[in-house]
Chain A
């Protein structure tokens, strides 16, 4: 990066300046009438709506209830992606034949955006828990698999030789050599997966009929309640940031315990 390093105070100050500038332009645009109020609500309008929705139900639930419902879906999808993706990635990284069989299929599938699965997710798994979970899974699965696979493939070959000369079998090699050696890569993959999974949420909730932040936004769109849509966006943004901060912290913790970062 170019430019001198800034102190923490300066960094925060510049960050706030950027935020104020952004809110300023937004307020100007919506108050001046350059953009019709209905298309672009004012920041104050959005904040008011946000606070309102914390307690007042919209589309059958308050914002925290919608969020809780989303989280449930999200965690199910993430868990499934990690539980399938990580072991499969490790297995593909160890057994060449499995890699040869599955890689072409996976390489093709992973470029399909999660939202493209919406029709089939609804058809195959319904609009209850199954369909939405599958869409979040579609977003979160590839990084889980890819990072576990890369972690396993790029394990120091000397560690594998050491394991072989000690007579270690396949299962034990995967569990006690490949898995621990791949932890940094897997954790990084889970973080990316968490982000992509959360981003797939709105798509997933397009087909939900009960509750969820995405569902709330879709309902608000139908009612042309732009402040509500905006509230949903902000809620998703903040929750996503919190998830990332939490995982970053977890990642640092794991790396420190391994003696990789002091």
Chain B
């Protein structure tokens, strides 16, 4: 359960081709990051899976079922958190559970366990505007995770956070995906973030948005046993990490050079 498939997906916005023949398969419980320059259409890819946009041609399917509308089987974590400002942390997390018609005590149990998982126990009754950006994004992740979605769609989730908070959240996400692995489609323009988090990294080109290369990270990560380190800086010091990161960088830079001509 939880595979994503792009089948020759094209998207045209007002006569401009945003996505050109995107083909990508994400296996169950696989973590795939899409990196690319801004405006390359990576967010559009995610929005199509979420059901917020429809492809001009081609098919996106989740579990072999064509995506037509948004739904709680594909939970989204937005760059700007997008919590409901008039709801407390608990109420924000509860909305999706209420939509699933879970009983009260079951919801309470799930909320408590996800608050615990995201270190939010003492903020259950706070309103979003009382929390820092990092805390708000934890709530947004908790809101998505609690639904036990088949796939998790993360659209530059740490893009609005400061550098330190960002690193902590990245480490947290790695911890989370070890405890409770999900199929994740992760959008970012940070090469380090993509290589650190993902099993595979898809590199996108700009105008029209195309997938240029898909890089396997998981094999190297397992061979080099990146998981023995808790901290991101220790992983980033490894030759194997630097090698992969440089590969992605070069690929993106070639893309920019082509762009200039």
A interface, CB within 8 angstroms of B: 156, 158-159, 161-169, 172, 176-177, 180-181, 183, 258-259
Asked if A158 and B95 sit within 8 Å, CB to CB, the answer is no
**Contact residues in B for A259 (Cβ distance below 8 Å):** 85, 127, 129
A162-B85 contact, Cβ under 8 Å, with A167-B71, A167-B72, A167-B96: no
B76 near A162 with CB under 8 A, answer yes
* Bound-state Cα–Cα, A166 to B87, Å: 14
User: Is B202 part of the binding interface, using a Cβ–Cβ cutoff of 8 Å?
Assistant: no
A180 to B87, CA, bound (A): 10
Report whether A172 and B99 are in contact in the complex, using a CB–CB cutoff of 8 Å. Answer: yes
Q: Within the complex, which residue of A161, A162, A167, A169 is in contact with B84, where a contact is CB–CB below 8 Å?
A: A162
Contact across chains for B50 and A165 when beta carbons are under 8 A apart: yes
Contact A165 B76 (CB under 8 A): yes
In the complex, the chain B residue whose C-beta lies closest to that of A169 is: B99
Q: Can you name the residue of chain B whose Cβ is closest to the Cβ of A179?
A: B86
Supplied contacts A163-B84, A165-B72, A168-B99, 12 more A-B pairs, CB within 8 Å: A158-B78, A159-B82, A162-B78, A162-B84, A167-B71, A167-B72, A167-B100, A167-B147, A169-B99, A176-B95, A177-B84, A181-B86
A258, B75: Cα distance in complex, Å? 27
From DSSP, what is the main secondary structure of chain A's interface residues?
A: helix
Q: Are B71 and A168 in contact (CB under 8 A)?
A: no
Chain B residues in 8 Å Cβ range of A183 = 86
Docked Cα-Cα span, A180 to B127, in Å, equals 14
Q: Give complex CA distance A177, B99 in Å.
A: 13
Chain A residue contacts of B147, Cβ below 8 A: 166-167
What residues of B have a CB within 8 angstroms of the CB of A180 in the complex?
84, 86
Contacts of A163 in B (CB 8 A): 84, 95
A165–B99 contact, CB under 8 A?
no
**Nearest-Cβ distance from residue B151 to partner chain A, whole angstroms:** 11
Alpha-carbon gap, A258 to B127, bound state (A): 10
Known contacts: A161-B52, A165-B72, A165-B75. The answer to whether A258 contacts B85 by CB under 8 A is yes
Contact with A along B79-102 (1 / 0, CB 8 A): 010111111000000011011100
Q: Is the CB of A164 within 8 A of B86?
A: no
Interchain CA distance A120-B252 in the complex, whole Å: 72
Instruction: Determine the distance from Cα of A163 to Cα of B87 in the docked complex, in whole angstroms.
Output: 12
Contact B72 A166, beta carbon cutoff 8 Å = yes
A37 vs B75: C-alpha distance in the bound complex, in angstroms? 77
Please pick, from A158, A172, A258, the residue contacting B80 in the complex, using a CB distance under 8 A.
Answer: A158
Taking CB atoms, residues of chain A closer than 8 Å to B85 are 258-259
How far is B75's CA from A168's CA once the two chains are assembled, in angstroms?
A: 12
> Nearest chain A CB to B131's CB is how many angstroms away?
12
- Please name the residue on chain A nearest to B50 by beta carbon: A165
Chain A nearest CB from B25 CB (Å) reads 22
Check if B80 sits within 8 Å of A167, measured CB to CB.
Answer: no
Q: How many Å from the CB of B69 to the closest CB on chain A?
A: 8
Interface residues of B in 89-127 (CB under 8 A from A): 95-96, 98-100, 127
CA distance A156 to B86 in the complex (A): 14
CB distance from A28 to the nearest CB of B (A): 56
Point out the residues of chain A lying under 8 angstroms from B75, CB to CB.
165-166
Task: Indicate whether A162 sits within 8 Å of B72 (C-beta atoms), given known contacts A167-B99, A176-B95.
Answer: no
30 contacts between A and B (CB under 8 A): A156-B82, A158-B78, A158-B82, A159-B82, A159-B84, A161-B50, A161-B52, A162-B76, A162-B84, A164-B69, A165-B50, A165-B70, A165-B72, A165-B74, A165-B76, A166-B95, A166-B99, A167-B96, A167-B147, A168-B95, A168-B96, A168-B99, A169-B99, A172-B99, A180-B84, A180-B86, A181-B86, A258-B85, A259-B127, A259-B129
Complex interface: chain A residues within 8 A of B5 (CB): none
The 0/1 profile, CB within 8 Å of A marked 1, for residues 20-64 of chain B is: 000000000000000000000000000000111000000000000
Does residue B11 face the partner (Cβ distance < 8 Å to A)?
no
**A residues near B99, Cβ cutoff 8 Å:** 166-169, 172
Nearest A residue (CB) for B76: A165
- The answer to the question of B138 belonging to the interface, with a C-beta cut-off of 8 Å to chain A, is no
Chain A residues near B96 (CB-CB < 8 A)? 166-168
Tell me how far the C-beta of A262 lies from the nearest C-beta in chain B, rounded to whole angstroms. Answer: 11
Q: A172 vs B94: C-alpha distance in the bound complex, in angstroms?
A: 13
Please, how many angstroms separate the alpha-carbon atoms of A168 and B99 in the complex? 6
Q: Cβ of B218 < 8 Å from any Cβ of A? A: no
B206 on the A face (CB < 8 A) = no
When distances are taken between beta carbons in the complex, the residues of chain B under 8 Å from A159 are 82, 84
Q: B245 an interface residue at 8 Å Cβ cutoff?
A: no
Are B143 and A166 closer than 8 Å at their CB atoms?
Answer: yes
Closest Cβ of chain A to B128, distance in Å, is: 9
Report the minimal beta-carbon distance from B81 to chain A, rounded to whole angstroms. 9
CB nearest neighbor in A for B70 = A164
A158: which B residues are within 8 A, CB to CB? 78, 80, 82
CB distance from A106 to the nearest CB of B (A): 28
